[in-house]
A and B are shown apart, each in its own frame.
Chain A
Amino acid sequence: MALKDVLKSGRFAVTTDFIPPKGTNIREELKILHPLRGRVDGVNAADNQSAVMSLSSLAASYLIKEEGLEPILQMVCRDRNRLALQSDLLGAAALGIENVLVLSGDHQSLGDHPGAKRVFDIDSVQLLQVARRLEGGTDMSGNRLKGSPSFCLGAAVNPSSTPLEPQIMKMAKKVAAGADFFQTQPVFDIEAFADFVGKTRHLSVPVLAGVFLVKSAKMAHFMNKNVPGVTIPKFILDEFEKSTNPVATSIEIAARLIRDLRDLSQGVHIYTIHWEDKVPLVLDKAGL
């Protein structure tokens, strides 16, 4: 079933991510996704994530589709102007890619081409609007199109943001601009997420809660120190400190989070950071 239909049906949706390689060896790397066929409703193809130059999300999405999975094309506003962004949206349609996740994009100083020009010709809200305009048969400037695309549009929200209100205002703007669904930053604090859900219920848009596969205590410490908006609670760190099998611990924690999120969200987005093959194990454990 297409992601669009899954979201409409109300069935609990599961998506995950794939980070395209820095290089051309993508077909080999895509094999890691094979066990996910029939288990996930979409696979995000990251767009030069963290401003690290890699194979494009468009090519990755096309090849993910060829592998029998449903791609979600991520698009950031950092590297392309409005011509290229619209052009690639039309290209995506021609290649049979329907799902697009619109993001602003990490600052290039975080990546491996710090000297790259910051483009940001349009922002993520405008990009959502542009995609909807293309669907309506005109480009951003109102020029008529020959053949219009049809998209399922996603956007990002951080439910752990403090204060939360500006984040919710931004989310409402994205809904108004055309977002069909949201994927969130990693969630660890279920109560705080429940609070976010309560405060955003009026937007009535499906939210896929971010579930991050923490791989080790070391990784958790690193994230707490370096990733803004993500706080991994102490009890998770403690679990890893005590664990003799960090992979099993990681799967157990993620599965527990999913079980807790089932009644709160319309689905989950599992951040794997190259642990795509662990997703079926997590889903089994979570009873999905």
Chain B
Amino acid sequence: MRFKEKLKSGEFIVTTDVIPPKGTAVYKTVNGLELLKGRVDAINVTDMPGANMRMGSLAVCVRIKDMGIEPVLQITCRDRNRISLQSELLSAYALGVRNILCLKGDEATDSDNPGTKPVFDLDTVQLLSAARNLEKGFDMGGKRLDGVPEFCLGAALDPGAENRVEEVKKARLKVEAGAEFFQTQPVFDVDSYARFLESVAFLDIPVLTGVFILKSAASARFMNKNVPGVYVPEPIIQELEKGDVEQRSIDIAVKLIRDLSAICSGIHIMMTVPWHHRILQILDEAEITGKVRGSAGARG
């Protein structure tokens, strides 16, 4: 079943992401992804997180698609104007890449290429609308297209946003503009997340909840300090400090996924190291088999 259809089916969704290489060593990025075939529904390819220059997302998506796994092209508004963004969307479709996650993009201030000009010609809502408009057969200039794409469009949702009212309002605009699913920042506090989900339940689209495989207590503390909207609770950090970090981080992820699977439509597994074998272990232990999990929170 294609990712787009699975989103509609109400089955529990599992996605993850890869970060393209800084260089041409794309084999290192895609190496080991075969393991995930049949176990994840799609793999996101990030678009230069942290504004650090890396290989283009579309090129890596093509490689992943060739492996028989559905890619999700992440595309940000930071580096391209409306001509290039629409051009990229048409190209994605022409190369068989249908799933697009429309993002604003991290600020360029901490880029590893200092001096980079932030473009931000469009915002994410405009990008989503532009994609939907292409599907209707027109570009932003109102010109008719020769060959029309079809997309499955996603957008980001930040459950840790300081201003929740504002975040829900943005989410509504994204859905109105065409978002079919949301993907969230990493979640660690399931209770408070459950309350957040209630506030967006009226939007009635699948929410894939971010599950982060922690590397160490130190990296958790780093995230708390430096990643806006992400908060790893102290008990989890203390758990990691007890040693046997690998097993404990897996256990933490498994417990999160078990708890989340009762309240949301799916998960998006993130990590900073390519731990594909750990993903399999985590999915096994969390008993996520890719099959329908009862009626557990198909929406929300």
**A interface residue numbers (CB < 8 A to B):** 21-29, 48, 51, 53-56, 58-60, 62-63, 78-84, 86-88, 90-95, 108, 111-113, 115-119, 121, 137, 139-141, 143-149
Contact = CB atoms under 8 A, between A and B. Distances in A.
B21 interface: yes
Q: How large is the interface on B (under 10, 10 to 19, 20 to 34, 35 or more residues)?
A: 35 or more
B28 interface: yes
Contacts of A94: 24, 26, 55, 59-60, 63
A163 B86 CA distance: 38
Given A48-B84, A94-B24, A24 B145 contact: yes
Contacts of A63: 94-95
Contacts of A140: 53, 113
Interface in B58-85: 58-60, 62-63, 78-84
Given A24-B148, A81-B79, A113-B140, A87 B54 contact: yes
B93 interface: yes
Contacts of A115: 82
Nearest to A47: B87
Interface of B: 20-26, 28, 48, 51, 53-56, 58-60, 62-63, 78-84, 86-88, 90-95, 108, 111-121, 139-141, 143, 145-149
24 contacts: A25-B146, A48-B87, A51-B83, A53-B140, A55-B94, A56-B84, A63-B95, A80-B84, A83-B108, A83-B111, A86-B53, A90-B21, A95-B62, A108-B83, A112-B139, A112-B143, A113-B139, A116-B83, A117-B120, A117-B121, A139-B22, A143-B113, A144-B22, A148-B23
B113 A23 contact: no
Nearest to A25: B147
A88 B141 contact: no
Contacts of B48: 83, 87
Contacts of B149: 24
